[in-house]
Amino acid sequence: MTNDISVCMCTYNGEKYIERQLRSIVSQAMQPNEVIIVDDSSSDRTVQIIEKFSSRYNYIKLYINSSNMGVNHSFLKSIRKSSNGIVVFSDQDDFWYKDRLAVIDQIFKGDCNVSMVVTNAHIYNNEKYTGLTTFDIHKPTRSFLKVFYKNRFIGCQIAIRKAKISENITIPKYTYYDHLIALLLLQSEGVSFINRPLSKYARHENTVTELGVPNSYLESVSSRYFIFLFFVKRMLNKKVSDSLKEGVKSLARSIESRGVIKTAVFIGGELLFDAKFGVDTRSMVSSTSVINQGMSDVARPYQGTNFYIIRFIFRELKKVVDLEKSHMLDYGSGMGRVILSGLYYGVAQVEGVEFDRDLYNKCNENIDKFCKERKVSRNRAKCILADAQLYEIPKGVNIFFLYNPFSSPVIERVVERIFSFAKTQEDEIIVAYVNPIFRELFLSKGFVIFSKGDGEFDLYKYSP
């Protein structure tokens, strides 16, 4: 018997299935330290069946709600009543295979950084095996945005490290407890998936669905809105890091310059970009490797170019250049949003230069995901770990992209490099410059503005 696992279960009118599930739990190769059951005021024989088991197994503890409170309230109550570090959720109508708890326990003990274990299960519909597993229906993912959009975590298939969540959490309106817990623990990145089915997941006409959770499009949208507010409040109540503070400052600057509506549209565009392409270009990343390399005096906190701006730029570029025959170089590529956009809009060859090792690694990870998902040749894109001031521009580049992330001395050297390169070329050179606060540097070198994007960007031409 382990000393660190609590099984948490909510029951309601489950007399037809509860005995079978309790037998599968008490028959585990490694039994739990305790089983916490919160009955939501059942009107059938569910309580009597549980009491029969609790009289025989003293680690089964029953709590009865005085009135029907719903699934969310009951499961949160069971968590608060539990006394162990690991919580394994259970439905009243499933069936566990004999080694389920032992496998879960092994994962948690093997890695102290694991915050949530998700197990697979065979799906049964009215006692008949469907031929499917829960992982067939809900593909395993660690993407916060994908799970925010659609819950892929079934409560009875997850186990959590209790210390990773607050016992005082409240569930937003129209939201299931497992959806919120999954989102909370996905932030820790310590999620482990067990592909081997360890239980039977039962579906039938009496499956309990709590009133007030999403059962329409409107309620689903409302749920995401309330979840969003939950995380905003949570962020504001915590001691924020320097990078997060910078993000808040950036948001404030955006609202001041663009207004609330346009800022909201910009943020929405970024969320949709990551969700659409299955990448992560929005995470808070501190430029530790830049600082460690003695560049803190010229480095700036990471902030990717907004996708709406990128989209407008590529629309303008299409008017003056054949993207399918172009070679684009992105200075300060960050997590690769511009590189991925270049691939999406058909640029033949795209590469980025990034000085920060953490961002460089993340950029290449995103390129790999994008190319695999979209079946794009990986040879069309690359990110190079290099100093933009020193990087030798490859032959054939005809489009430059830079979002002003640099301090004055760095941008001066980058512009000088672009100018020196442009003078040697036979064809016209195009520069897309986002947040063009050093516009005069380009104009003084003979670059000509042919498009201004509402103050957000400049597009320059240079004809040798």
Over residues 80-89, mean pLDDT: 94
Summarize pLDDT for 313-363 with one digit per residue, the tens.
999 999 999 999 999 999 999 899 999 999 999 999 999 999 888 889 999
Report pLDDT for 283. 62
User: Given a cut of 90, is residue 88 above it in pLDDT?
Assistant: yes
User: Given a cut of 90, is residue 300 above it in pLDDT?
Assistant: no
User: Given a cut of 70, is residue 293 above it in pLDDT?
Assistant: no
Report pLDDT for 442. 95
Q: How confident is the model at residue 235 (pLDDT cuts 50, 70, 90)?
A: low
Which residues, at least 6 apart from 412, have a Cβ–Cβ distance to it below 8 Å? Answer: 438, 441
Pairwise CA distance, residues 337 & 12, whole Å = 48
Report pLDDT for 236. 60
Radius of gyration of the chain (CA): 27
Report pLDDT for 239. 46
Report pLDDT for 143. 85
Closest to 309 measured CA to CA, from 391, 404, 416, 177: 404
Q: How confident is the model at residue 204 (pLDDT cuts 50, 70, 90)?
A: confident
Which residues, at least 6 apart from 218, have a Cβ–Cβ distance to it below 8 Å? Answer: none
Q: How confident is the model at residue 167 (pLDDT cuts 50, 70, 90)?
A: low
Q: 293 or 359: which carries more pLDDT confidence? A: 359
Look up residue 32 and give its amino acid: P
Pairwise CA distance, residues 65 & 69, whole Å = 7
Report pLDDT for 13. 94
| Among 219-223, 379-383, 396-400, the least confident range | 219-223
| Among 142-146, 158-162, 285-289, 353-357, the least confident range | 285-289
Token reading at 138 = 């809900």
Per-residue exposure over 174-213, b if at least 16 CB sit within 10 Å of its own CB, e if not: bbbbbbbbbbbbbeeebbbebeebbbbbbeeeeeeebeeb
Report pLDDT for 237. 59
Pairwise CA distance, residues 458 & 304, whole Å = 17
Furthest C-alpha separation in the chain:
90
Entry pTM: 0.54
Q: 58 or 219: which carries more pLDDT confidence? A: 58
Closest to 64 measured CA to CA, from 17, 10, 19, 20: 10
Q: How confident is the model at residue 428 (pLDDT cuts 50, 70, 90)?
A: very high
Report pLDDT for 306. 82
Q: How confident is the model at residue 278 (pLDDT cuts 50, 70, 90)?
A: confident
Rounded to 10 degrees, the C-alpha dihedral 447/452/457/463 comes to -20
User: Given a cut of 60, is residue 302 above it in pLDDT?
Assistant: no
Over residues 231-239, mean pLDDT: 64
Q: How confident is the model at residue 370 (pLDDT cuts 50, 70, 90)?
A: very high
Over residues 381-400, mean pLDDT: 94
Mean pLDDT of the chain: 85
Report pLDDT for 127. 85
Rounded to 10 degrees, the C-alpha dihedral 48/50/53/54 comes to -100
User: Given a cut of 80, is residue 268 above it in pLDDT?
Assistant: no
CB atoms within 10 A of CB 43: 10
Which of 320-324, 387-391, 400-404 reaches the highest mean pLDDT? Answer: 320-324
Q: How confident is the model at residue 245 (pLDDT cuts 50, 70, 90)?
A: low
Pairwise CA distance, residues 90 & 315, whole Å = 52
User: Given a cut of 90, is residue 459 above it in pLDDT?
Assistant: yes
DSSP class of 306: P
Over residues 220-235, mean pLDDT: 79
Report pLDDT for 215. 57
Closest to 388 measured CA to CA, from 446, 329, 443, 434: 329
Q: 404 or 295: which carries more pLDDT confidence? A: 404
Do residues 363 and 393 make contact, with C-beta atoms less than 8 angstroms apart?
A: no
Pairwise CA distance, residues 248 & 159, whole Å = 33
| Among 17-26, 259-268, 443-452, 454-463, the least confident range | 259-268
- Count of residues for the chain? 464
Report pLDDT for 256. 67
Q: How confident is the model at residue 451 (pLDDT cuts 50, 70, 90)?
A: very high
- H/E element, 135: helix 134-137
Residue 179: phi, psi to the nearest 5? Answer: -65, -50
Do residues 412 and 382 make contact, with C-beta atoms less than 8 angstroms apart?
A: no
Over residues 23-43, mean pLDDT: 95
Pairwise CA distance, residues 91 & 360, whole Å = 44
Q: In a 3-state reduction of DSSP, which class is residue 12?
A: coil
User: Given a cut of 50, is residue 295 above it in pLDDT?
Assistant: no
Q: How confident is the model at residue 285 (pLDDT cuts 50, 70, 90)?
A: very low
Report pLDDT for 325. 96
Report pLDDT for 291. 35
Report pLDDT for 248. 59
Task: List C-alpha distances in Å: 54 to 9, 50, 57.
Answer: 14, 6, 5
Report pLDDT for 260. 73
